Amino acid sequence: MKTKNILIHEVGPRDGLQVEKTLVPLEDKIRWIDGMINSGVDIFQLGSFVNPKAVPQMAETEKLFTHYTSSGNKPEHVIMSGLVLNEKGLDRGMDCGVEMFCMGVSASETHSQKNTRMTTSEAQTRIIAMAQKAMEAGKKVQVSVQSAFGCGFEGPIPKDRVLGIVKEYLSAGIRNISLADTAGHAHPMLVEELFKGILELDSEVELTCHFHNTYGLGLANCYAALQNGVTSFESAYGGLGGCPFTKLPAGNVSTEDLVHSLQRMGIRKDIDLTALIDVARQVGNFFGRELPGSVLKSGSIVDFKKND
Answer yes or no: 243 catalytic: yes
CA 264 to mean position of chain CA atoms: 22
| Domain-wise residue ranges, the chain | 7-298
Residue 250 pLDDT grade (very low, low, confident, very high; cuts 50, 70, 90): low
Has residue 166 got a pLDDT over 50?
Answer: yes
Give one DSSP letter per residue of 135-161, joined into a string.
HHTT-EEEEEEETTT-BTTTBS--HHH
Residue 3 pLDDT grade (very low, low, confident, very high; cuts 50, 70, 90): low
pLDDT tens column, 66-110: 999 987 789 999 999 999 999 999 999 999 999 999 999 999 887
* Pairs from 120-125 (Cβ < 8 Å, separation ≥ 24): 120/165, 124/165, 124/168
d(CA 193, CA 182): 17
For residue 154, the model assigns a pLDDT of 85
**φ, ψ for residue 48, nearest 5 deg:** -125, 150
Catalytic option among 96, 151, 209, 243: 243
Question: Looking at domain 7-298, does it have CATH number 3.20.20.70?
Answer: yes
d(CA 16, CA 92): 21
- Give the global pTM: 0.93
pLDDT over 90 for what percent of the chain?
79
Residue 117 pLDDT grade (very low, low, confident, very high; cuts 50, 70, 90): confident
Q: By C-alpha distance, which of 3, 50, 15, 4 is closest to 234?
A: 15
